[in-house]
């Protein structure tokens, strides 16, 4: 029925079910059913339910932060002390989330809802991933923003970047439920969102 491996089908089904019905209604029986496999296959491949959820988060987050990191590296051009253009830095942080959302084939759109829910649930696995793998990258972005906005105190940078991440997470998790009137194709709407978000972040970082 599908060219994907059982493991991949399980990961995809889990992602789908979390995005559609949330963590509260997630059961490994529904997962195995949607993945066209057996109950025990989940425990065989992932150990238990929690480790499966962890891997769902890890798979896409690793990809997202890898892209962010490489885009930032490209801006830095080897010299992390050279100030970059603020808009480009924000683009490197915000746009990859859009790309994920817009890539129907990879199912990234669904994942951003999963991510928003995992954030809200304050998932322990997500917290660990954040601490060990992603916080360093976020710090790099904060440093770059600091160089691009020399007039803002370091502490202010951190606060506002934190708020920007909040706005991004919230927005990405609520695509399709925004109250902003929308009479355009979905793809166009995604790009509009990111453009507005970048303008918003730029403005928020341009005043003392």
By CB under 7 A, is residue 43 in contact with DNA? yes
Interface residue with DNA among 38, 62, 70, 135 (CB under 7 A) is 38
Query: In angstroms, rounded to a whole number, what is the distance separating the alpha carbons of residues 106 and 59?
Result: 11
For DNA, which stretch binds (CB under 7 A), given 20-28, 87-95, 158-166, 185-193?
Answer: 20-28
Closest by CA to 136, choosing from 202, 68, 79, is 68
Contact 12, 107 (CB under 8 A): yes
Query: In angstroms, rounded to a whole number, what is the distance separating the alpha carbons of residues 65 and 67?
Result: 5
Between residues 64 and 172, which has the closer beta carbon with respect to a second copy?
A: 172
- HSE value, Cβ hemisphere, 13 Å, CA-based, for 173: 16
Q: What one-character DSSP code corresponds to residue 48?
A: S
By CB under 7 A, is residue 21 in contact with DNA? no
Counting residues that bind DNA (by CB under 7 A) gives: 20
By CB under 7 A, is residue 120 in contact with DNA? no
Opening angle at CA 38, ends 33 and 43, nearest 5: 110
Closest by CA to 52, choosing from 7, 119, 16, is 7
* Interface contacts to a second copy, rule CB under 8 A: 22-24, 26, 116-117, 119-122, 127, 135, 138, 155-156, 158-160, 162-171, 173-174, 177-180, 196-197, 199-208
By CB under 7 A, is residue 117 in contact with DNA? no
Interface residue with DNA among 22, 26, 137, 158 (CB under 7 A) is 26
Between residues 108 and 173, which has the closer beta carbon with respect to a second copy?
A: 173
Give CA torsion, residues 167, 25, 5, 39, to 10 deg.
160
Q: Give CA 90 to chain center in angstroms.
A: 14
Interface residue with DNA among 37, 76, 113, 171 (CB under 7 A) is 37
Number of separate helices (H) and strands (E) present in the chain: 10, 0
Between residues 36 and 174, which has the closer beta carbon with respect to a second copy?
A: 174
Interface residue with DNA among 18, 19, 42, 101 (CB under 7 A) is 42
Place of tokens 């793809």: 187
Query: Interface mask (CB under 7 A) for DNA, residues 48-87, using x and -?
Result: xxx-------------------------------------
Residue 135 binding: pick among a second copy, DNA, none (C-beta 5-8 Å cut-off by kind): a second copy
Contacts of 172 (CB under 8 A, 6+ apart): 97, 101, 112, 113, 115, 116
Task: Give contact residues for DNA (rule: CB under 7 A).
Answer: 5-6, 25-30, 37-45, 48-50
């Amino acid at each position: 029925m599908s060219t994907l491996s059982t493991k991949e089908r399980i990961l995809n089904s889990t992602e789908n079910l979390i995005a559609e019905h949330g963590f509260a209604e997630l059961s490994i029986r529904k997962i195995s059913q949607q993945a066209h496999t057996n109950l025990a296959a989940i425990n065989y491949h992932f150990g238990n339910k929690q480790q499966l959820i962890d891997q769902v988060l890890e798979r896409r987050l690793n990809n997202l932060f890898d892209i962010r990191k490489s885009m930032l590296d490209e801006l830095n051009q080897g010299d992390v002390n050279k100030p970059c253009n603020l808009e480009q830095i924000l683009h490197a942080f915000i746009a990859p989330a859009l790309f994920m959302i817009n890539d129907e084939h990879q199912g990234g759109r669904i994942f951003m809802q999963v991510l928003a829910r995992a954030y809200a649930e304050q998932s322990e696995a997500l917290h660990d991933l954040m601490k060990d793998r992603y916080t360093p990258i976020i710090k790099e972005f904060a440093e770059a923003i600091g160089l691009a906005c020399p007039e803002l105190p370091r502490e202010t940078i951190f606060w506002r970047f934190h708020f920007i991440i909040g706005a991004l997470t919230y927005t990405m998790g609520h695509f399709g439920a925004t109250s902003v009137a929308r009479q355009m194709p979905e793809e166009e709407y995604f790009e509009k969102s990111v453009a507005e978000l970048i303008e918003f972040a730029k403005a928020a970082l341009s005043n003392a």
